[in-house]
Amino acid sequence: MKVFFRRLALYAFALWSFFPLYWLLNTSFKTSKDALARPPTFIFKPIMKNYTEVIKNNEVWGYFVDSLIVAFGTTLFGLLIGVPAAYVLARFKFRGSADFGFWILSTRMTPPIAMLIPFFIMYLKLGILDTHIGIIIAHVGLNLSIIVWLMRGFYEEIPMEIEEASYVDGSSFFQTFYKIAVPLSMPGISAVGIITFLFSWNEFLFALVLGDSVVRTSPVGLYGFVGYQKIYWGQLSASASLLLIPVLFFVFLFQKPLIKGLTLGSFK
Amino acid sequence: MKKRTLNHLPPIKQLNLTRRHFVKATSALAGAGLLSSYGLPLYAASNVDEMMKMYQSANIDWQSQKGSSIVLSGLEHPWMSSIEPLLPHFNKLTGINVQVQKQSESEYVAEVPVKLGAGNPTPDVYMVWSYGQAANAGWLESLDQHFDNPNLFDKNWYDLNDIFDSAKSFPIWNDGESYVMSITAEAQTMFANQNMLDAAGVGVPTTFDELLSSGKKLKSGDVSGVAMRSKADGTAGSWPGGGFVFSNGGVIIQDGKCMLDSPEAIEAIHYYGTILKEAGPLGVGNYHWYECLNDYMQEVCAIGMDSSNFATDIENPEKSNAAGHTTYGAMVSGPGKTAKPNMWHWMSGINSKSQNKAAAFLFLTWANSKPTCLMSSALGLATTRTSAWESEGFKSAFGAQAATAALTNLQNADGKIMKDCWFHPQSGEILTPFGIAINEVVTGTKSAEKAMTQATAKINKAIGA
Amino acid sequence: MSQFRKEKNRFIFLMLMPATILLVGLTLFPFIVSFILSFTDYSLLRPGQTKFIFLNNYIELMTTDEFWIALRVTLVFTILAVFIQVVLGVTFATLLHNENTNVSLLRTLYLLPLAITPIAATFTFRLMFNPSLGVLNYFMKLLGLEPQAWLASPNTALFSLILVDTWQWTPFILLICLGGLASLPNEPFEAAKVDGASSWQIFTKITVPMLYPFIGLALLFRSIDAFKTFDIIYVLTSGGPGILTRTLNLYAFKHGIEYLSMGYAGSIAIVMLIITIVVAQIFLRKNKLLQPKDTLK
């Protein structure tokens, strides 16, 4: 009985999560008249036009590639920079470590409006406007706080005996870190990696202001379908639906570690 | 490196045309003797020479900026959509390469101030959404000196008389110089579903009271009588609401002071709110042009009052169920007053920090010239030239009755009172409280008197009146 | 200093350096600029005529109704939204954790809101909320309920926004909790079952307390982000009806980007920052999350 109710709740929540996406998919197969019809149509004559237009549209492929480069770059560099910092904060107490940790957190607190023009000017002067590396740097900065704090949480769950044993055996700090700590936390790393990937893939504001014609990620590009006194629903919904495929693919690839991962040692 | 070049021209369908329009456009131009007698498609390379002749008759050295490159920036807009396909011709004529940057309106309005505020030399030419803002911030190049340059401009060939008066007066800033050029013309126009009017036995309303009573008669069940913009935003109700104020003998700004608390203005917005409360759809308070237009096209709303530009969508049977039986009408007037619809000219200007000003100027005058307007209006663009509006090409693309109604409204509009508000350097701080006040009246949160009086106080404080 | 100490310090320094350089480089300049600007009357309309007006922006801020209304709206939105999302996230993470069929499928479905391009999702909601053409009211009518004005009505606008935000961000909390749950040892649960505890008792007395640090992290990050919510509000209601859904971030945006008063917008941003810092500090200290519990010797 309990199982029945639990399943009911789980599937209801799944329906809730899926419905707007279902509506989006629905819309992508409709003509513009059907998309806004009253009453809303669930059964209709589907058209493939939106998809063929989007697939033929080189720009949309461009958005996809740009998003891929930026999201991957962000995840890679974010982890490279954030994981070591997290390890140190989890393992060592030193003067100012609490404040340092909080400072990292505070970088996430400023409302973007305060950062837009200064960022733009910095990037303009440094000549990295409208470059992939530029946006990657910005995204890493935006997400470092969560990478560091989450990984710190995971490291705090890993028992220290193995590392302490390694020190006793004479390994240096660095060796212990990358030979033992990192592999042990792989699952945690992939978890944080996915979160970072998703954040970067869907980030809009900075990709908009710091990118332009050369680098146009998908959130920015898809916004172009919201025209002046016109919304290109067909292409918007088709592109968004298609873009889900690579994202879900990557998430699926990392799912096992994701779950096993947030999973570690014992918890006192 | 991937750059946005002309290769990404939107397919014709995206320009909201059908094959029908396209063919009509070319035949219209053929009729006007502007195409070769082979009747080849407009943009075929073989026709380029014919068209070049139209430009080369001008006393302008088109090739003087050959080899330079300019960046044209704009929002997703009919003007951009009609000019883009013609850019290869411009390139052939002048040797200037044009790079196009197009964004959605919200994106554009948020991003361009950041760029211009940081002193960027590009874009060289851009669509100006707030003249007051751009001029005051020094983001625009004065055009007068270029107009006076005989190498860059030929007054006779350009034929200034052909351009609407308001389009000519709009760009004149309070220091007497022009910093932009008008590129489109639109006016507040009524569109009414004739079938629904006939079924309810009402005629096309001409006054506020008639709009209210007809609207109530037309409202039944799930179908609303009238829908107009009311979202709590400076871009929503302020423009149509402003037209109501003007058509009731009021003004928004006079001599630098906000006059929205005058009896005429309060009465106008009281009507606006009442019409929508009693004849409008559920949730009209959150309606923007998008919701208004959709409701109308799906025939769940009988009457709308918005920009004449919507005619192209409304008459498109692929998008609209109301195509073919819509009557376009003049703006309604307040009791005992004359109708003064609101209107708008989109404008384009040259970045004051541009490094290719002469090339940018050549582009602007080319885009606004008679031959180019003839071609772009054949695609349905509402240009600023009478010749273009009266051409067969435009009439079939836009709709003859729609064109007549829009023209009437354009001619009845009072450019000055509109400019006093919309070109105020702090127009944002005027239009947003105004739009929010309209929203509060429409949702019934405040009475028209309270909402407008409070908004006026706030606006006057912000603009220092 | 012992060799060990020196090596330890060097290690710590090197591991922290890249992160420090990056964050200092990226955030220091903008922060200083915004901080200084907030004491001026800088407007993009009059770029050369900026004057220091010291605390005037802040004084004006504190004395306008609009600021306090925006603050209230932001707090109500943040507190309600995060609360609902945490409850839902923890609950469904637990339920899913105890489930054994179709778990992968369910997990994927739950992640969808985070995977979809936000602009497409937001416009889909705009369409679904449409009072005359949208599918939500269609269902309301089917169920015999009154169709609502949703985003247009003072009564339902904020709630509708919280609904959208919840849809979008509950998966974030769910993900973190799911991981936390998988890391919990089995013994306490088994022991409790043997003792005859009910599911509810297990949930409240064992699961939640043990999951606490993860819930705390999720709650912290979600709150920081929810406080700054912008996109959905901008697209769906523009802060309306009236100014009933205008949060501080929207308020800052209006003054900064629409009115071009960057000095004033800067002061709003600084106030938001201060509030966030204070609340976060209180939260972290109370839950002792600022420092690690044990460290290496």
Residue A138 lies in a domain: yes
Rounded to the nearest 10 degrees, what angle do helices C157-183 and C118-129 cross at? 130
Token pair 């063919």 in the structure block, residue? B23
Nearest to C241 among B110, B224, B443 (CB): B443
List chain C residues with CB under 8 Å of B106: 234
Task: Output the DSSP codes for C54-106.
Answer: TTHHHHHHHH-HHHHHHHHHHHHHHHHHHHHHHHHHHHHHHHHHH--SSHHHH
Nearest to A97 among C123, C281, C291 (CB): C291
Residue A33 lies in a domain: no
- Which residues are within 8 A (CB) of C101 and not within 5 positions of it... i.e. 6 or more apart? none
Searching chain C, which residue's CA lies closest to the CA of residue B280?
C132
- Check if C69 contacts A (Cβ < 8 Å): no
Q: φ and ψ at B175, to 5 degrees?
A: -100, 10
Q: Which residue has the higher pLDDT, B50 or A239?
A: A239
Look up the CATH number of the domain holding residue C78: 1.10.3720.10
Contact: A226, B2; criterion CB under 8 Å? no
Instruction: List, as ranges, residues 198-227 from B with C-beta within 8 Å of A.
Output: 222
**Integer distance in angstroms from the first to the last C-alpha of chain B?**
52
Question: How far A121 CA sits from the closest chain B CA (Å)?
Answer: 6
**Integer distance in angstroms from the first to the last C-alpha of chain A?**
32
Q: Which residue has the higher pLDDT, A32 or C216?
A: C216
Question: How far B103 CA sits from the closest chain A CA (Å)?
Answer: 5
Rounded to the nearest 10 degrees, what angle do helices A97-106 and C262-286 cross at? 140
- The two three-digit tokens of residue B440, written as one number: 């509060």
Contact: A18, C293; criterion CB under 8 Å? no
Query: Pick from A267, B387, A9, B445: which is nearest to C179 by CA?
Result: A267
Distance CA B208, CA C169 (A): 46
- The two three-digit tokens of residue C18, written as one number: 């890249």
Beta bridge pairs of residue B347 = B128, B182
Task: Output the DSSP codes for B273-325.
Answer: HHHHHHHSPTTGGG--HHHHHHHHHTTSEEEEEEETTHHHHHT-TTT-TTTTS
Residue A154 lies in a domain: yes
pLDDT for C204: 85
Residue A41 lies in a domain: no
Q: What is the pLDDT of residues A127-143, one digit of tens each?
A: 888 899 999 999 999 99
pLDDT of chain C, 297 residues: tens digit per residue: 677 778 888 888 888 999 999 999 888 888 888 889 889 888 877 777 788 888 989 999 999 999 999 999 999 999 999 999 999 999 999 888 888 888 888 888 898 898 898 888 998 999 899 888 888 998 998 899 888 889 999 889 999 999 999 999 999 998 888 777 776 777 788 888 888 888 788 888 888 888 888 899 899 999 999 999 988 998 899 888 989 999 999 999 889 888 888 889 999 999 999 999 999 999 988 887 766 666 665
Residue C292 lies in a domain: no
- Check if B289 contacts A (Cβ < 8 Å): yes
Helices (H) and strands (E) in chain A, counts: 15, 2
Residues written for chain C = 297
Distance CA A253, CA B439 (A): 49
Searching chain C, which residue's CA lies closest to the CA of residue B430?
C259
Angular region, B288: left φ>0, alpha ψ -120 to 50, beta rest: beta
Distance CA B304, CA B192 (A): 6
Searching chain C, which residue's CA lies closest to the CA of residue B133?
C45
Contact: C240, B300; criterion CB under 8 Å? no
- Give B103: exposed, middle or buried? Use CB within 10 Å, 0-12, 13-18, 19+: buried
Beta bridge pairs of residue B326 = B193
Residue A146 lies in a domain: yes
- Chain center to CA of B155: 25
pLDDT for B78: 83
Report yes or no: A130 and A137 within 8 Å, Cβ to Cβ.
no
In angstroms and rounded to an integer, the radius of gyration of the C-alpha atoms of chain C is 24
pLDDT for C296: 64
Residues written for chain B = 465
List chain B residues with CB under 8 Å of C238: 231-233, 236
**Integer distance in angstroms from the first to the last C-alpha of chain C?**
16
- Which residues are within 8 A (CB) of C29 and not within 5 positions of it... i.e. 6 or more apart? A118, A122
- Check if C15 contacts A (Cβ < 8 Å): yes
Sign of torsion over alpha carbons A61, A63, A69, A71: negative
List chain A residues with CB under 8 Å of C172: 195
- DSSP state at residue C255: I
Domains in chain A, number: 1
- Check if B313 contacts A (Cβ < 8 Å): yes
Question: How far B300 CA sits from the closest chain C CA (Å)?
Answer: 8
Q: Is A230 in a helix, a strand, or coil?
A: strand
Contact: B300, C133; criterion CB under 8 Å? yes
pLDDT for A15: 93
- Check if A195 contacts C (Cβ < 8 Å): yes
Distance CA A66, CA A201 (A): 10
Contact: A224, B11; criterion CB under 8 Å? no
Look up the CATH number of the domain holding residue A249: 1.10.3720.10
Distance CA C188, CA C211 (A): 13
- Which residues are within 8 A (CB) of B417 and not within 5 positions of it... i.e. 6 or more apart? B246, B251, B252, B254, B340
ipTM over 0.95: no
- Check if B56 contacts A (Cβ < 8 Å): no
The residue type of B385 is: R
What pLDDT band is residue A52 in, cutting at 50, 70 and 90?
Answer: confident
- Check if B307 contacts A (Cβ < 8 Å): yes
Distance CA B367, CA B371 (A): 9
Query: Pick from B79, B11, B449: which is nearest to B273 by CA?
Result: B449
Distance CA B104, CA B121 (A): 21
- Chain center to CA of A14: 21
Query: Pick from C185, B232, C143, C25: which is nearest to A140 by CA?
Result: C25
What's the domain range around C132? 55-286
Question: How far C132 CA sits from the closest chain B CA (Å)?
Answer: 7
Distance CA B133, CA C260 (A): 8
Residue C295 lies in a domain: no
Contact: C135, A9; criterion CB under 8 Å? no
Q: Is B45 in a helix, a strand, or coil?
A: helix
Contact: A38, B114; criterion CB under 8 Å? no
Going by their DSSP bridges, the two strands B97-103 and B224-227 should be labelled as: unpaired
pTM of the model: 0.83
Report yes or no: A218 and A67 within 8 Å, Cβ to Cβ.
yes
Mutation for B interface: C69, C249, C258, most B CBs within 10 A: C258
Q: What is the pLDDT of residues A184-234, one digit of tens each?
A: 777 678 778 888 999 999 998 888 888 877 888 888 888 878 766 677 888
Distance CA A3, CA A190 (A): 31
Give all strands (DSSP E) within chain A, no chain letters: 226-227, 230-231
In this complex, which chains have at least 3 CB pairs below 8 Å with chain B?
A: A, C
pLDDT for A255: 67
Distance CA C131, CA C140 (A): 11
Searching chain A, which residue's CA lies closest to the CA of residue C199?
A2
- Give B415: exposed, middle or buried? Use CB within 10 Å, 0-12, 13-18, 19+: middle
Residue C34 lies in a domain: no
List chain A residues with CB under 8 Å of C124: 20, 23-24, 27, 237
Residue C151 lies in a domain: yes
Contact: B101, A209; criterion CB under 8 Å? no
pLDDT of chain B, 465 residues: tens digit per residue: 333 333 333 333 233 333 334 344 444 444 333 333 233 344 444 456 667 788 888 888 888 889 999 999 998 888 988 888 888 888 888 999 999 988 777 778 877 888 888 888 989 999 998 888 888 888 999 999 999 888 888 888 898 888 988 888 889 988 889 999 999 999 999 999 999 999 999 999 999 999 999 999 999 988 999 999 999 988 899 999 999 999 999 999 999 899 999 999 999 999 999 999 999 999 999 999 888 998 999 999 999 999 998 888 898 888 899 998 999 999 999 999 999 999 999 999 999 999 999 999 999 999 999 989 988 888 888 999 988 998 888 888 888 899 989 988 988 888 889 989 988 888 889 999 999 999 999 999 999 999 999 999 999 999 987
Chain B: residues touching C (Cβ < 8 Å)? 106, 109-110, 113-114, 117, 133, 136-138, 222, 224, 231-234, 236, 281-287, 291, 294-295, 298, 300-301, 425-426, 428-429, 432, 436, 439-440, 443, 445
Distance CA B453, CA A81 (A): 56
Q: Is C153 in a helix, a strand, or coil?
A: coil
Contact: A229, B14; criterion CB under 8 Å? no
Residue C244 lies in a domain: yes
Residue C181 lies in a domain: yes
Contact: C34, A110; criterion CB under 8 Å? yes
Q: What is the pLDDT of residues A3-16, one digit of tens each?
A: 888 899 999 999 99
Contact: B233, C238; criterion CB under 8 Å? yes
pLDDT for B133: 81
Domains in chain C, number: 1
Question: How far B215 CA sits from the closest chain A CA (Å)?
Answer: 21
- The two three-digit tokens of residue C66, written as one number: 């609009």
- The average pLDDT across A76-104 equals 88
- Check if B283 contacts A (Cβ < 8 Å): no
Report yes or no: A235 and A54 within 8 Å, Cβ to Cβ.
yes
Buried b (16+ CB within 10 A) or exposed e, B427-443: bbbbbbbbbbbbbbbbb
Report yes or no: B296 and B223 within 8 Å, Cβ to Cβ.
no
Contact: B428, C258; criterion CB under 8 Å? yes
pLDDT for A77: 94
What's the domain range around A145? 46-258
Residue A186 lies in a domain: yes
Searching chain C, which residue's CA lies closest to the CA of residue A40?
C135
Contact: B232, C240; criterion CB under 8 Å? yes
Distance CA B424, CA B135 (A): 10
List chain B residues with CB under 8 Å of C44: 113, 117, 137
List chain C residues with CB under 8 Å of B137: 44-47, 260
Question: How far B277 CA sits from the closest chain C CA (Å)?
Answer: 13
Contact: C113, A118; criterion CB under 8 Å? no
